[in-house]
Structure 1
Amino acid sequence: MTTTAAMQSTATPRATVKEWTGLAVLAIPCILYSMDLTVLNLAVPKLTADLGPSAVELLWIVDIYGFVLAGALLPMGVLGDRVGRRRLLMIGAAAFGLASIVAAFSTTVWMLIAARALLGLAAATLAPSTLSLVTNMFRDPAQRTFAIGVWIASFSSGAAIGPVLGGVVLEYYWWGAVFLLNVPIMVLLLAVGPWLLPEAREADAPWPDFVSAALSIVAVLSLVYGIKLFAHSGPSLAVGAALVVGVLVAALFVRRQKRLADPLIDLALFRRPAFSTALTVNIFGFFIAFGSFLLIAQYLQLALGLSPLEAGLWSAPSGIAFVTGALLTPPMTRLVSPPRLVALALTVAAGGFLMLGIGDDPDLARVVAGYVIFSFGLAPVFTLTTDLIVSAAPPERAGSAAGIAETSTELGGALGIALLGSLASALYRLDLKSSIQGVVSDTALAEAGEALGRVSSLAAELPTAQGAALVAAAQSAFGNGFQMAALASAAIALGTAAATFLVIGRQSTPGGGPFDAPIASR
């Protein structure tokens, strides 16, 4: 009896109804976190017609959220340890709701860009805070594993729900309404969070190095701006200045990390080949995924003529394929080692991109099929690379490695939107100019070259024959740019698959090293 009582007193406490209800509350901001990376894609045509952004400004509207989010994740995670994870989550939720209102009612392009940047900064508080709270609320190992599974699934659900929900809203309301979806949900979180979520903080946790955080954001934004500007207007003094600033600031960031006692990023982790390669695979995976999500959303509406609701509904099968691929990953690792499964999955994803990029402009059936195939293929990649990154790091650096993995996810996605979008835009303008120059005025050609979303209104102002020729040429040009971006994605997927197999695979050990063990056994 004494032994039994002692065992009961030292047993790990199991979660109660309060903790499970709190988990449901925590899933809400996670869904919004990823939903805001995709929900805007369907609103691009309406937004373009209303605010009239240039091609470069449009890319900033779409991807500034992901860039600021990526740069702020690490310092926000450290800040949560210091000030309290629940407190930071509540502050972030309030800021996210307010920024959503500003974005919804933006009247200028740069007002919307600023609002999206604030949304990214607020969203950076959500992922580290919610994961830290989950691990504190669920002490029992089995319950914690399931709870973290729900936490991960909520991000996938947000990415799948975003296009469908955005399509429904855009069918009846203006483009800004997609941002107002965030407000009531954040109000709910603020109302029930203090009652259901415990506070968790580390009294001796260091303050984040905000200088390092600022340097990382400046470096990323400068480099990407230079690349986007080059894709839009070719080489120039501004392009060179932006790239030089980005490289110099990145060098200062690395130098600072080497000198700090508590660096924002532990650079020693990058000297591990398995860690750095898995991180690279994760970045490239999200690069081709999110860049393609944006282009497909535009292609469905602007080239195939679907309404936002129809485009959202036809995007749903890809979300289902993604969730299915993620759920099948653990049993698949019992048959194939993780690095080989990553390589195989990337090859499958490449097949989906090739389906979109080869042949004539793809019709609806081909777009949906290719979308489903590459989504199914990329799901195991995202699941396994995160696991491989953490496994490659020593136990005392697992938390830092997990933070780097989350940052690489957002950075890869934002870069994909920027660079694949820039590639498609540049090819669209070149193709449009070569096919329609002389048929319409240079002014109309220049305006049409800024974005396909402007072509319909321009065509309505031209004589019937010229307008029809402009629309046909613009749709064909966009289709060509879309297909070249798909082929680039296929090449990246295949190249990354080869690197995964050759580099990460060689780090596996025949005796069952960290990359050969099934996920469920770790």
Structure 2
Amino acid sequence: METKTERHLTGRQWWGLTVLALPTLLLSLDFSVLYLALPSLATDLAPTGSQELWIMDIYGFMTAGFLVTMGTLGDRIGRRRLLLIGAAAFGVASVVAAFAPTPEVLIASRAVMGVAGAMVLPSTLALIATLFTDPRQLAFATSLWMSCFMGGLVIGPVIGGVLLSTFWWGSVFLLGVPVMALLLILGPRVLPEEHDPGAGRLDLVSVGLSLITVLGAVYALKELASHGWEASPALILGIALTAGMAFVRRQLILDSPLLDVGLFRDRVLSSTMTIWLLGGAVQGGVSFLMAQHLQAVLGLSPLAAGLALVPASVAMIAAILAAPALAQRFGIGRVMSAGLVVAALGAFIVAQVGTGELTPLLAGYSVSILGLGLPSGLVPGLILGAAPSHRAGSASALQETAGEFGMAAGVAIFGSIAASSYRDRLTASTTDAVPDRALDSISGAISAAEALSPSAAHDMVQAAQAAYAGGFTTAALVAAATFAALALLAATQVPRGADVVIQQQPDTPEARSSDVPARGEGAAEQ
């Protein structure tokens, strides 16, 4: 049913929203669309094990690493200009990736796609803030943007499976060409241009520190999730944290900082960013374990596992789209906290499900994802609302970087929790010596079982599946507790009133200073 907010949108706003939402869907989809294409890709290009990892991860690494830089660059040179440059680069790199003759070419093209994605993503959200000036329209537009962003992440494997059933692996990259072509054609006609005329030069030292911080942290967390605590990724993580502290100190003394850390003086923004970061970490970790559980424990194929998660994706998108209207009626803080309580309940249901109960497992997961969709639909507006309009690109890049970092951290943290529980349970459940390979992961246990007699292999797999299910249960309980704590944070720190939904700070000389007023203090009283 068409809402009053939607009826009042002009034709230019509808077209602008379309050309901004579709690239967002595509860019987030590209994070996961290769999951099912890797086997056929490996057959054609014969990459080494290390090259396979870089093919999968380089896109996300480069996107996460350059988001802050590109968001600030868009504030300086113009967000529409940066968006169109990124769209052109992404389209060309997609064609190169689709027909890459060697692993090296594919890795390089995926890296360019990641940098181009970092140009496009913060620009899309910042331009939405410019295109929609009415708070209610802006709330609807950002919730639609967020539904595209989150939806693309979860439907990537499904889209990849459908394309691979008919076409070759390179077809998954060609999805981007018509979408970016549409953006290049319509963007100059329907999108406004805005930048900060008072912005200074881009500080290259800050750019370097931000890249070391984000790239180092994301890489280290992924390595720790895959191989456990080892010296090399732990050292890289320490270097990233040190660079991050140096980055923050430098921003405090620059006249034109790459990232306005003064934004965090706003209580609403800092609380919302915490909810977004930790909520994304929990979702990323539980979703990763869920995908493994469906395949390794319940025996679903990758495509069947992806299709099984479609209901949860639909539930999340519905919640994201409904969030602004619910916030107008019941208040932002209440809607966010209620959603997080529902997410905690869903995670608790997941924790109670046994190894072979597919339907209740999917039901609990869907409830959890549905609940998380409510705060997710409000986060972009709250963060944009805390920032002056001339810093919208920087604020949106900050949100997306926190989301990327949160998901990477979630996979590492929850993967480590589940892996530790898995090893302990597997060791305790068998009297015979367990091969090291089986202790590493459930896939290692299944592989190790192939060398055993049929009865011994059956016992090994059964024990490994039970141990993994126990580890998954432990991680789900931690997720439920985390969601409950975030619900309390939302209830006490996020304003109840509905009138602060995405009401941007004015573009005044006072707003341009780094001493951003603590709007959350007054809003919380509403």
Q: Is this contact kept in 2: 1:346–1:497, CA < 8 A?
A: yes
Aligned residues: 497
> Which residue in the other structure is 2:476 paired with?
486
Q: Percent identity?
A: 42
Provide closer, same or farther for how the CA distance between residues 110 and 419 of structure 1 changes in structure 2, counting only shifts above 3 A: farther
1:32-431 equivalence runs, <5 A:
32-40=26-34, 65-97=59-91, 99-100=93-94, 117-134=111-128, 147-148=141-142, 150-171=144-165, 178-190=172-184, 205-226=199-220, 237-238=231-232, 240-361=234-355, 363-392=357-386, 400-431=394-425
1:467-478 equivalence runs, <5 A:
467-478=457-468
Q: Is this contact kept in 2: 1:508–1:516, CA < 8 A?
A: no
Letter in 2 for 1:214: G
Segment of structure 1 superposing worse, 250-259 or 78-87: 78-87
Unaligned runs of 5+ in 1: 1-13, 518-522
SS in 1 for 2:401: helix
TM-score, with length taken from structure 1: 0.78
Inter-partner Cα distance in structure 2 for 1:424 and 1:250: 28
Deviation track 1:90-119 (CA, whole Å, cap 9, x = no partner) reads 332344345556766889999877665544
Provide closer, same or farther for how the CA distance between residues 222 and 79 of structure 1 changes in structure 2, counting only shifts above 3 A: closer
Letter in 2 for 1:514: A
Inter-partner Cα distance in structure 2 for 1:47 and 1:471: 29
CA apart distance, 1:201: 5.4
Letter in 1 for 2:409: L
Letter in 2 for 1:411: F
Inter-partner Cα distance in structure 1 for 2:223 and 2:133: 50
Q: Is this contact kept in 1: 2:98–2:171, CA < 8 A?
A: yes
CA apart distance, 1:392: 4.5
Q: Is this contact kept in 1: 2:206–2:247, CA < 8 A?
A: yes
CA apart distance, 1:390: 3.9
Segment of structure 1 superposing worse, 209-218 or 246-255: 209-218
Segment of structure 1 superposing worse, 134-143 or 316-325: 134-143
Letter in 2 for 1:330: P
Segment of structure 1 superposing worse, 108-117 or 458-467: 108-117
Letter in 2 for 1:272: D
Q: Is this contact kept in 2: 1:170–1:308, CA < 8 A?
A: no
SS in 1 for 2:23: helix
Letter in 2 for 1:70: A
Inter-partner Cα distance in structure 2 for 1:165 and 1:324: 20
TM-align CA RMSD = 4.2
Inter-partner Cα distance in structure 1 for 2:243 and 2:275: 24
Letter in 1 for 2:308: W
> Which residue in the other structure is 2:502 paired with?
none
CA apart distance, 1:394: 6.4
Q: Is this contact kept in 2: 1:66–1:414, CA < 8 A?
A: no
Provide closer, same or farther for how the CA distance between residues 432 and 130 of structure 1 changes in structure 2, counting only shifts above 3 A: same
Segment of structure 1 superposing worse, 243-252 or 472-481: 472-481
SS in 2 for 1:168: helix
Q: Is this contact kept in 2: 1:168–1:308, CA < 8 A?
A: no
SS in 1 for 2:523: coil
Letter in 1 for 2:523: P
TM-score, with length taken from structure 2: 0.78
Provide closer, same or farther for how the CA distance between residues 424 and 181 of structure 1 changes in structure 2, counting only shifts above 3 A: farther
Segment of structure 1 superposing worse, 477-486 or 131-140: 131-140
CA apart distance, 1:219: 2.1
Q: Is this contact kept in 1: 2:126–2:393, CA < 8 A?
A: no
Deviation track 1:94-146 (CA, whole Å, cap 9, x = no partner) reads 44345556766889999877665544322111122223444566678887666
